Amino acid sequence: RMNQSNRMLLPDGTSLPRIGQGTWNMGDDASRREEEIAALRLGVELGMDLIDTAEMYGDGRSELLVGEAIQGLRDQVYLVSKVYPHHAGNEQLIRSCGESLKRLNTDHLDLYLLHWRGDIPLEETVVGMEKLVSQGKIARWGVSNFDVDDMKELLGIAGGTHCATNQILYHLGSRGIETELLPWQRSHKIPVMAYSPLAQAGSLRKGVIESEVVQEIASAHQATPLQIMLAWTMREEDVISIPKASSRKHVIENAAAGLITLSNEEIWKLDEAFPIPSWKVPLDMI
């Protein structure tokens, strides 16, 4: 089970695990439903008690599944969902949040994120988010897929500094945020929530897990290369990563990755094999 050293404090004092659980594509396959629910519940038991979902995922099917998985555990879970950009204004934002709450079978979210930036003015979204906070439907709000300029704009508008996090793509094979966005967020005490920390299952992941350096470090820790990818996201205290795992085996491996501490030398070797770009690159997204 992950322990206290695997947790971080938000500026408001909330304690969060540095490895949580993603749920994209969960609930899509009826034959896997029981296994996915059991995986999420086991994850909470093992200390990965932040669960991330979105109204977009499976058109609400992911939220329905999460709603079922957290029954009896609601108080132990830090629940995150996201609103579509085209739903993120005025009455529609309030309605979307209400529909997410219904599917999740709860009366509040711990965090509600704008999934990515769309055409609705940020001012309108922030007003709506603050209204949801005052109604007690969400404890906090944040954004996702915002690059530095978007973040600067957000913090410049009334209420914008209440933004709790920016959920962005980040893994060993995609380190662009380290040029500007991550340091900027750090200086404003806005933690990064790293999505796709295992680089999903495509060729980018292959490049990381087949690297000699990653394999060497993995065998030194008797771990898998994917566990090293997760342990790497934990080398800094203000990054929360949210791998998605839908089997017990993967959940157990991901929680165990939280117990791996990479040495400085290992981190240097990984820096050499997977360098930070030398200049600002556009934010990677999926």
Binding site for ligand NDP (CB under 6 A): 22-24, 52, 115, 144-145, 167, 195-201, 226, 242-247, 250, 253-254, 286
Residue nearest to ligand NDP (CB): 22
Q: How far apart are CA 231 and CA 41, in angstroms?
A: 22
Distance, in Å, from the CA atom of 165 to the CA atom of 173, rounded to the nearest integer, reads: 22
Query: Please, what is the angle between helix 122-134 and helix 90-104, to 10°?
Result: 50
Six-digit token string for 35: 């296994």
Tell me if 170 sits within 8 A of 195, measured CB to CB: yes
| Known catalytic membership, residue 78 | no
Q: Provide the minimum distance between the beta carbon of 278 and ligand NDP in the complex, in angstroms, as a whole number.
A: 25
C-beta of 3: minimal distance to ligand NDP in Å? 19
35 or 264: CB nearest ligand NDP = 35
Q: How far apart are CA 93 and CA 212, in angstroms?
A: 47
- How many angstroms separate the Cα of 14 from the Cα of each of 29, 111, 130? 34, 11, 19
* Strand 50-52 versus strand 192-195 pairing type: unpaired
153: its two tokens: 């704009």
> CB of 286: closest distance to ligand NDP in angstroms?
5
For residue 266, the minimal CB distance to ligand NDP (Å) is: 19
CB of 158 or CB of 203, closer to ligand NDP: 203
**How far is residue 48's CA from residue 258's CA, in Å, rounded to a whole number?**
9
CB of residue 205 to ligand NDP, shortest distance in Å: 7
Q: How far apart are CA 148 and CA 136, in angstroms?
A: 30
CA distance 167 to 242: 10
d(CA 56, CA 38): 22
Question: Closest distance between ligand NDP and the C-beta of residue 124, in Å?
Answer: 20
Whichever of 101 and 230 has its CB closer to ligand NDP, that residue is: 230
Residue pair 194/169 in contact by the 8 Å Cβ criterion: yes
* Whole-number Å distance between alpha carbons of 116 and 145: 5
Q: Is there a contact between 197 and 234 (Cβ–Cβ < 8 Å)?
A: no
Catalytic residues: 57
